[in-house]
Amino acid sequence: MSYDSHLADRIRRALAGHPTATEKAMFGGICFMIDGHMAVGIVGDDLMVRVGPDEYEHALDEPYVRPMDFTGRPMRGYVYVEPAGASTVRSLARWVGLAATFVATLPPKAKRPARVRR
C-alpha cells in the first residue's frame, strides 16, 4: 500500500522541532515516532494519530475523524483523520501536537539490542 508523500513531507516539517522524531515503515504506510513511541502516521491518504485514551472520545467528536481499526478492531487511543481534517498547516500541527503531548507522558522505551544478520 502506498501513502500520501505530500502529507509525509508536511508531517516532517511539523515535527522539525522534535529532535527525537524518527520515521519507520509500518502498516503499509509510514509512522513517525517520538522518543521511540508511535505518534502519527499515514495509511493510504489518512493521518493516523495517537491521541491517547483520555482524548480518544473527544477526538472522535471532531469532523473527519474515525476510530483506527486497522486490524478490524478499533484501537482505543488511536484515530484516523481523513485528508480534509488535516488539510491546513494549523489543523495538521494541532493533530501532531496532540500526539506529541500524549507520547510525552509515556515512559521511555527500552533500547532493543541490535539484531545479528545472518
Least Cα distance to 43 among 59, 32, 51, 35 occurs for: 32
Whole-angstrom distance, CA of residue 81 vs CA of residue 59: 9
Question: 10 Å Cβ neighbour count for 15?
Answer: 22
Query: What's the pLDDT at 1?
Result: 54
pLDDT recorded at residue 116: 74
Residue spans per domain, the chain: 5-103
44-88 pLDDT, tens digit per residue, is: 899 999 999 999 999 999 999 999 987 788 889 999 999 999 999
8-38, pLDDT tens digit by residue?
999 999 999 899 999 999 877 899 999 999 9
Instruction: Please name the CATH architecture into which domain 5-103 falls.
Output: Alpha-Beta Complex (3.90)
End-to-end CA distance of the chain: 28
Output the nine-digit C-alpha cell for 35: 522518543
